[in-house]
Amino acid sequence: MSVFSLEGQRALVTGANTGIGQAIALGLAEAGAHVVAAGRSSCEETVERIIAEGGNAKALKMDLADGTHGVNALEKAGDLDILINNAGIIRREDSVDFSEADWDDVIDVNLKAVFKLSQHFAKSLMAREATGRIVNIASLLSYQGGIRVPSYTASKHGVVGLTKIFANEWAGRGINVNAVAPGYIATNNTQALRDDPKRSTEILERIPAGRWGDPADIAGAVTFLCTPAAQYVHGTVLNVDGGWLAR
């Protein structure tokens, strides 16, 4: 079997209804994994696309704003080999006016849920004496401050920290924990930026690759980190940004 194959693996992807999460689910399925596409919104379209392409998948409702519901849903998914913590939300406001409610909402989904799902997944693997993979979706704002997104920036810095501590504690138990930090990707979330000629030009001029990223670019990186080819990769953050951070 190829070291880039995921045949026989079962993977859960959060936020798999659209954009990057959907692309990751499709990429894992293409590599041979059985995919559980999870999200607060329906992931049936993702499942249908995977099945249409000859893959195996099912949808699962998972509300990460409710930590208990997220863990309970993870339990319903059954034994898993791969966990992709992709789901995330963002709220925008000047830091001086940012509300506690917006802070809590973002931290709960983007950071607390990553901790709780990873903790539960790792416990399950250890109880089965099994190996597994966790890939967290970080951000360019895991490195930079951004503007008007204090809770998002804090949460994505935290995701990188969790990735490293999990790797430190679990690598010896056969659990690989890594992260992927997407750059500017062509999704619904960046539509307004891409439709703004001035902002789009400014962004493209900073990207050495000269283009917006495609969700499939993120899917390829995540899939690699889940395969046997990455078995000695622990605690890394793989930047998939067209060279943005190197500029």
Kindly report the CATH number assigned to the domain that includes residue 165.
3.40.50.720
* Residue range(s) defining the domain that contains residue 147: 10-239
Q: What is the pLDDT of residue 193?
A: 84
**Which runs of consecutive H residues, i.e. helices, occur in 55-195?**
67-76, 100-107, 113-128, 150-170, 191-195
State the DSSP H helix or E strand holding residue 61, giving kind and residue range, or none if neither: strand 56-61
Q: Is residue 233 part of a domain?
A: yes
Of the residues 143, 152, 184, 232, which is catalytic? 152
Taking residue 102's Cβ as centre, other Cβ atoms within 10 Å add up to 19
Cβ within 8 Å of residue 56, ≥6 positions away: 29, 34, 35, 50
- Within-domain flag for 247: no
Helix 44-52 vs helix 19-30: crossing angle, to nearest 10 = 30
Indicate the residue type of 142.
S
The torsion of the CA quartet 23, 112, 238, 77, rounded to 10 degrees, works out to -40
Give a yes or no: residue 4 inside a domain. no
pLDDT of residue 53: 97
Q: How many CA atoms are closer than 13 Å to the CA of 11, on its beta-carbon side?
A: 37
* Cα–Cα distance, 115 to 121 (Å, whole number): 10
Contact 243, 237 (CB under 8 A): no
Query: In whole angstroms, how far apart are CA 204 and each of 19, 34, 122, 197?
Result: 20, 36, 39, 10
Q: Which among 32, 128, 46 has a CA at the least distance from the CA of 80?
A: 128
Q: Which of 54, 49, 61, 3 is nearest to 25 (CA)?
A: 49
CA distance 74 to 147: 34
The total of structural domains in the chain comes to 1
Residue type, position 88, single letter: G
User: Which of 153, 140, 188, 155 has the alpha carbon at shortest distance from 64?
Assistant: 155
In a domain, 1, yes or no: no
In this structure, is residue 245 part of a structural domain? Answer: no
pLDDT along the chain (247 residues), means of 10: 95 97 98 98 98 98 93 94 97 97 98 98 98 98 95 98 98 98 92 90 96 98 98 98 96
- Please report whether residue 44 resides in a domain: yes
d(CA 113, CA 88): 10
152: annotated active-site residue: yes
The answer to whether residue 195 is domain-embedded is yes
Q: Does residue 112 belong to any structural domain of this protein?
A: yes
Of the candidates 102, 62, 57, 59, the residue with the CA atom closest to the CA atom of residue 85: 62
